[in-house]
Amino acid sequence: MPKFAFYYVFLTLGLLLFTNVVHCEENAYDIKYDNIDIDEILKSERLLTNYINCLMEEGPCTEDGRELKETLPDAVATNCSKCSEKQKAGSDKIMHFIIDNRPEEWEKLEAKYDQSGSYKLKYLNSKKESD
């Protein structure tokens, strides 16, 4: 194989790999908040209420609250297809907690972000199967 052809193939593969990495990153949610302590939020009535109020546009939002409010409709619509495994686990934990412990707030969130009720139905069905 001539030297020119080798470099051409190498350059082409490099560009394809780079394009694929950039494309994958564009189709994933930012992981900068992945290390937030979910349990701390769930233990704190004030923190959880502030996040819920932010999502419902009934109170101010922190930077991470604004980002959550921006990505939540897409995450619900796509079944969290752009979420990392850590994001999926964290969002499930929070939503399960709200469904089980704060059903009135869940109903408001569901009316705004999941009118079909598909998430709660899926969760309740999986809960029945595990019992």
Q: Which CATH fold topology does 31-130 show? A: Antennal chemosensory protein a6 (1.10.2080)
pLDDT of residue 22: 37
Q: Where are the domains of the chain?
A: 31-130
Residue 58 is given by DSSP the state S
Structure tokens at 120: 């709660």
Residue partners of 69: CB distance under 8 A and separation at least 6: 54, 55, 61
Q: In the predicted model, what is the mean pLDDT of residues 24-30?
A: 67
What separation, in Å, do the N-terminal and C-terminal C-alpha atoms of the chain show? 63
Give the C-alpha separation, 70 to 123, whole Å: 23
pLDDT of residue 49: 95
The 10s digit of each residue's pLDDT in 92-112 is 899 899 999 999 999 999 999
User: Distance of alpha carbon 5 from its chain centroid, rounded?
Assistant: 44
Poorest-pLDDT segment among 38-42, 51-55, 122-126: 122-126
User: Distance of alpha carbon 10 from its chain centroid, rounded?
Assistant: 36
pLDDT of residue 104: 96
